[in-house]
Amino acid sequence: MVQLLLLLAVAAVIGYVQYRMGLMRMAQELEAKSHPLEDPKLLAAIRRLALANGLGHVQAQVFDMPMVNGLATPDGRVFVTTALMQKYKIGLLSAEEVASVVAHELGHVALGHHRRRMIDWTGRSAAQLALGVVLNRFLPIIGFYIAALLGAFVAAGLSRRDEFEADRYATALMIRAGFGAGPQIAMLRKLGRMIPNPQGASWLASHPAVDERVAEIEHNAAAWAA
């Protein structure tokens, strides 16, 4: 029992250190590959989100990445990728639709998802290692694979939960800013065409399917309207 507790403690420390190092590497990459967002129309839309959110300013930047995406840092900075901006510049995306991506990322920040993910990662790393050791006694080698699969299942479920929560926050913010839920829904549908849902088991996907997200947004928007 003592050995198991010690193993859990060591695994938790290792998981925490790995997560913090990952954040540091990401921060360095963002610093090196980002520049301020300067599009006036898009900045005006983001400013409306900031006012609706009670914030004086949202620091928005463009991150050099060949994938249509958005991300945020724990300190509240929001990034949209160069691939997304290219779609915007050629007219495939509107300023309001890009703003919905920013609103979603602001949801991750406001809801404390970065801290939650750190806790989840630390706990899951410890539990996965301990479970692997236990299972390995009965199923040599295979036991660690089973533990890893279960860990991936848990991580994916937690990630999908966070995405639904950030969507819900973004919908409320978009409505409060006067944009409505339409741009958010349109953005998700376009995103689904740009980045098709990955093939494979849905319970291992880090993001919910587009149709599920849209249905949830429509439900929330209708409930708030009523």
Which tens digits make up the pLDDT trace of 14-49?
666 766 676 677 778 778 888 999 999 999 999 999
- How many residues in the chain? 226
pLDDT at residue 19, rounded to an integer: 65
What is the residue range of 210's domain? 2-225
Distance CA 35, CA 38 (A): 9
**In contact, 175 and 223? CB cutoff 8 Å:** no
In DSSP terms, 78 is beta-bridged to 60, 72
pLDDT at residue 3, rounded to an integer: 64
Take residue 21 and report the two structure tokens written for it: 């190092």
Segment 41-66 mean pLDDT: 90
- The 3-state DSSP class for residue 60 equals strand
Confidence of residue 201 (pLDDT cuts 50, 70, 90): very low
Confidence of residue 199 (pLDDT cuts 50, 70, 90): very low
pLDDT at residue 37, rounded to an integer: 92
Give the pLDDT confidence of 127-171 residue by residue, as tens digits.
666 666 676 677 777 766 776 777 777 777 777 888 999 999 999
Confidence of residue 77 (pLDDT cuts 50, 70, 90): confident
Q: If you average pLDDT over every residue of the chain, what do you get?
A: 82
Domains contained in the chain, number: 1
Long-range contacts at 151-154 (CB < 8 A, ≥ 24 apart) = 151/124, 151/125, 151/127, 152/204, 153/203, 153/204, 154/124
More confident residue, 4 or 42: 42
Unique residue bearing structure tokens 């938790």:
12
Distance CA 59, CA 115 (A): 20
Segment 87-114 mean pLDDT: 92
Q: Which pTM was predicted?
A: 0.81
**In contact, 168 and 100? CB cutoff 8 Å:** no
Take residue 66 and report the two structure tokens written for it: 């060949």
Distance CA 186, CA 179 (A): 12
Q: Which residues contact 125 (CB under 8 A, 6 or more apart)?
A: 11, 12, 14, 15, 18, 151
Take residue 217 and report the two structure tokens written for it: 């947004």
pLDDT at residue 55, rounded to an integer: 76
Unique residue bearing structure tokens 């540091």:
24
E strand residue ranges, the chain: 34-36, 60-63, 70-72, 78-81
Q: Which residues contact 209 (CB under 8 A, 6 or more apart)?
A: 197, 202
